[in-house]
Structure 1
Amino acid sequence: MDYRMPLYIQLQDIIIKKIEEKKYLPGEAIPSERKMAETYGVNRMTVKSAINKLVEQGYLIRKPGAGTYVAQRDYKKIDLSYIDEITGNSGVTAMLTRSGMETSSKVLGFGEVAHSKYLNYKLALGGDETVYGLHRVRLAGNQPFAIEYTYMPKQDFEDIENFDFSKVSLYDYMDTKGHMPRHFIQNLIICEANEKVAELLGVERGTAVFKIESQGADKDYNLVEYTKSYMNPAFAEFRFLAEEK
């Protein structure tokens, strides 16, 4: 092990790799904490910390009196590499619909934001332009899976205030205006949930979550969306395709 990195994180990576390589199969019990401690030369508290994190992230489940098992990974998760080939829609609603999951939204806030140099820069607008901000918690069933802070140019969506986005899909609305996001620049990092994010996602403070920043452009490559979101990784997976040389 590399002792420059916390041991429990290294052990998490080892367990995840074994799950992904099918060395630990869904529904199978993993070795006991004592056995893992002996195998990897660490103390049991380190093993317990690693397992606790993987339980939080949905990789493992504990069965009282029976041990710790690999979670059944055939439940529906969002494939964040997905873009609908026909509509170009890569919105969360479209991805969840494709996965067979029902979604809903809780609107945290909505309104105009004027003279924000940062948001205007992200949307390639002039410094005096006004944008709309829409802040939501996204739910799958009754479980929160993401927090989204979305901003759009007012000039493209003048009647946006007439819609209730706890019921209406934002991307469906944008599509009616001819500004469905079809081209994306996205950046993802893994960060620890602060107190606010943890409360809204229903996880413990400090839990590792995905932070995704996305700029979306319409078919004519006009920037029409800037979104910053925090997502519980238990609800999402990423796939990377390597091109053959």
Structure 2
Amino acid sequence: MTAIYIKIHDEIKRQIETGVYTVGQRLPSERVMSEKFGVSRMTLRQAVTSLVEEGILSRYVGSGTYVASDRVREKMRGTTSFTEIIKNLGKTPSSKVISYQKTKANEVECDKLGLKKGAQIIRMERIRYADDLPICYEVASIPHRLIADFAKDDIANHFYDTLAVAGKKIGRSEQIISAKIVNKEIASFLSVKPNSAILALTQVSCFANSEETPFEYVLSQYVGDRFEFYLER
């Protein structure tokens, strides 16, 4: 027999999916909703809590419970391009390049990419969008010798597709996620308030060859209420 709170969970979720409650809308109070469903506040709270844990609702102390923003979701299971993630969700991906330069790799870039001191890289700073909504600010570092024959547009707008056409197979990646506060400059790029909480991702991606050659080192900052990561075992 299905628990009552699960039935309420499913009904609230259905109402969100059918537009009874829309993104950003505040739900009625616990008292009103518990009376509506004919259950105790404790049972209603169980249903709402489960929806909050799933990211469908967001709860703010002193304010109420709201339908969460429509987040882009990435499954943490390997190296996947941002463009592919967004397209798979039925959204339109795009990028805005802030800077693009050939320069010497710094100490951290040399370490992450397995380069010798003084090696040349392409360092690219850009904003990534889904349906024109800024999702991510990133700085990508790529060994120049690996992409010397590619045009800037090939790198800036469809890097992974360019690698695939060139016969380069993408392998594993190492990813570290942390929480941080966004500074004023990047906040303006992402259309959020300075000092907002964001998700920071550090990723090193490698080719699927015997040496597992690193080909990209990326520092990304994602808007927390527009993007989420989840794990699958």
TM-score calculated relative to the size of structure 1: 0.67
Provide the C-alpha distance between the structure 1 equivalents of 2:154 and 2:198, rounded to a whole number of angstroms. Answer: 28
User: Percent same amino acid among aligned pairs?
Assistant: 16
Please give the secondary structure, in 2, of the residue aligned with 1:197.
helix
SS of structure 2 residue aligned to 1:29 = coil
Q: Counterparts of 1:198 and 1:162 in 2: how far apart (Å)? A: 26
TM-score (normalised: structure 2): 0.70
Distance 1:160 1:111 in 2: 14
- The reply on whether 1:237 has 2:228 as its aligned counterpart is yes
Q: CA deviation at 1:22?
A: 4.4
Deviations 1:167-206 (A, max 9, x none): x312112223344532100000011111112111100111
Alignment of 1:117-196 (within 5 A): 117-163=107-153, 168-196=157-185
Task: Determine the C-alpha separation between the residues in 1 that align with 2:197 and 2:217.
Answer: 23
Cα RMSD of the aligned pairs, angstroms, is 3.2
Residue 215 of structure 2 aligns with an amino acid whose one-letter code is V
The aligned amino acid for 1:81 is M
- Name the counterpart of 2:74: 79
Of structures 1 and 2, the one scoring higher in RCO (CA 8 A, sep 6+) is: 2
How many residue pairs get aligned? The number is 190
Structure whose residues are more often strand by fraction: 2
1:5 aligns to what? none
Please state whether the residue corresponding to 1:234 is helix, strand or coil: coil
Once the two structures are superposed, what CA deviation does each residue of 1:95-140 show, in whole Å capped at 9, x if it has no partner? Answer: 1111111011000010112152221111011112111111110111
Partners of 1:72 and 1:106 lie apart in 2 by: 26
Helix, strand or coil at the partner of 2:231: coil
> Within 5 A, what are the aligned runs for 1:43-82?
59-60=57-58, 69-71=65-67, 75=70, 77-81=72-76
The one of 202, 205, 228 equivalent to 2:219 is 228
* Unpaired segments ≥5 residues, structure 2: 1-7, 31-40, 42-51
Q: In the aligned structure 1, how far is the partner of 2:146 from the partner of 2:58? A: 45
Match of 1:214 among 203, 212, 220: 203
